[in-house]
Amino acid sequence: MEFIQQLAQDRFNSFRSFMEDIQQVEVMARMENARQTIPILPALNARPDVAVIAEFKRVDPILGDLADDEDHVPFAQAAERGGAAMVAACIEPSEFYGAYEDLHDLSQAVNIPVICDDFKINEHQFIIDRACGADASIIHMAITSNCCGAFVDMAPRLGITPLVEVRNMEEYRMALDNGAPAIIVSATDLDTEVTDLDAILPVVRAAKAYGKLVFVKDGIETREDVEKVAAAGADAVIVSAPLLQSDDVEAAVRALTGVPRRKATRRTMIKIDGINNVEDAALLLKMDVDAMGISFIEGDPYAVSGNEQAAEIVKLLPRRVASCGMFKNSGRVAIERAIREVGFLYSEYCGDEPPALARRSDNNVIPHFRIDTQIPLDRMRLYGMKLAFSILEPQEGQETLDWEGIGLLPAKGRYYISGGLTVDNVEQAMAAMHPDGVVFKADVDLESGRKDFAPVQAFIDAVRAADARLYGTKA
């Protein structure tokens, strides 16, 4: 049995024993008394430099003993004084000799975010993480590949930021498919006991190009190492052994700080509408798309025949491709029934659906707004927390939005633009408005009745080329 598999089995057994011993009332009391969580990704994204995260481990399976039992609090406090953006604690008990108390102690001892590094095999672990003061939790793809998506969904409900750790390109792609909001790329493979910083740089570059915040874990010993991964696109480094082995943790942390982050790149999201069968959906998934619109609109020649056909399409989609159910004045009963029976991620309001309908819905929503040159921020606020994105489209009789007249979109909010976008004009629209996403409809049929995806691919290529020219994003 490989080390990772044995570690997962050991963690399953140790957590089961832990849950047998702890009382529910104790967990609830800790939850109530835990400090308010700190959202780590917005702060990280705003930093001009690569964040240094100091991780406490008593034992490393490869390197051996690193610290004594009571060293965790002084270590974290020294790291904070040295400029660490966050601290982490490896709490796995059998190989790393960690404990939940380490997490709790650190959350009380420092004023910066605390990350729980554990091997997740049970969703209840996130509840304990939160009760012990964690702001973020690491999910190891090598262990949780079958339930990573469920863990990624659950953690934010508790106020915890999920960070998915991968070792190679294959695990990175799985993390994307499971909706990972941020990626940790580990330079150490516990199965082979090899640490190779250069080997993971392609994964770092790929994640950065996709627009993810990227952490590099292990293999960082010097400032030059931080500069190397920063050049590849790393936003943060997680450092353990070199700091724990230092006689002056504060100075060791400070020596790694201040390395400039690579200029943030931007990846424009692409939503494709007009897909109404499994075969075309499967072809589209081979392309670089982020969302798929499935029409339930009466009279739309590209609408699905019903909930059953839509469910077949949604079932096919990986988590990295958002499924959007498109409705136009369908009524609450029909929409909520489709949500239950189909399971799409977003409800897209293409008609006169009122904001009150969104507030009563089980789904977050994407309303359409027909505009001239004014962004209807007051109307958008009525959707409250249910607003996922806004789709801006031209008024009746206009072929496209007045991109130059509208100009740069507000920083607050997330916007797709739609209507009349083509290979020839999409870069002009992006340059003027800098939207979060663009919409294109796959509405060219071949004589066989199937979609012609050549125009779709050409549009995607045009968007990615525009990303490269406007934002320096590499394909």
Looking up tokens 């190397």 gives 228
Q: How confident is the model at residue 148 (pLDDT cuts 50, 70, 90)?
A: confident
The CA distance from 343 to 367, in Å, is 18
| pTM of the shown model | 0.64
| Cα 400 from Cα 28, distance rounded (Å) | 54
Q: Do 201 and 174 form a contact (C-beta atoms < 8 A)?
A: no
Question: Average pLDDT in the 205-234 region?
Answer: 91
Answer yes or no: are the C-beta atoms of 304 and 326 closer than 8 Å. Answer: no
Residue bearing the bigger pLDDT, 253 or 156: 253
Instruction: Rounding to the nearest 10 degrees, give the CA dihedral for residues 339, 345, 350, 356.
Output: 70
pLDDT of 215: 98
pLDDT at 280: 92
Please give the average per-residue pLDDT across 291-299, as a whole number: 95
Angstrom CA distances, 91 to 97, 115, 241, 249, 343, stand at: 7, 10, 15, 20, 36
pLDDT digits (tens, 9 = 90+) for 267-280: 899 999 999 999 99
- 3-254 folds as TIM Barrel (3.20.20)
Burial 24-36 (b: 16+ CB within 10 A, else e): eeebeebeeebee
Q: Provide the residue type at 383 as one letter.
A: Y
- Among 27-31, 52-56, 442-446, the minimum mean pLDDT is found in 27-31
* Other Cβ atoms closer than 10 A to 47: 13
Domain ranges of the chain: 3-254, 269-471
pLDDT of 25 over the 60 cut: no
For residue 350, pLDDT beyond 90: yes
The pLDDT assigned to 373 comes to: 87
- Residues sharing a CB contact under 8 Å with residue 88, sequence separation 6 or more, in sequence order: 53, 54, 55, 56, 114, 115, 116, 117, 138, 238
The reply to whether 269-471 shares the fold of 3-254 is yes
List, for residues 413-451, the tens digit of each pLDDT value.
Answer: 789 999 999 999 999 999 999 899 999 998 777 666 667
Determine the pLDDT at residue 21.
59
| Domain 269-471 fold | TIM Barrel (3.20.20)
- Environment class of 300 (CB within 10 Å of its CB; exposed 0-12, middle 13-18, buried 19+): middle
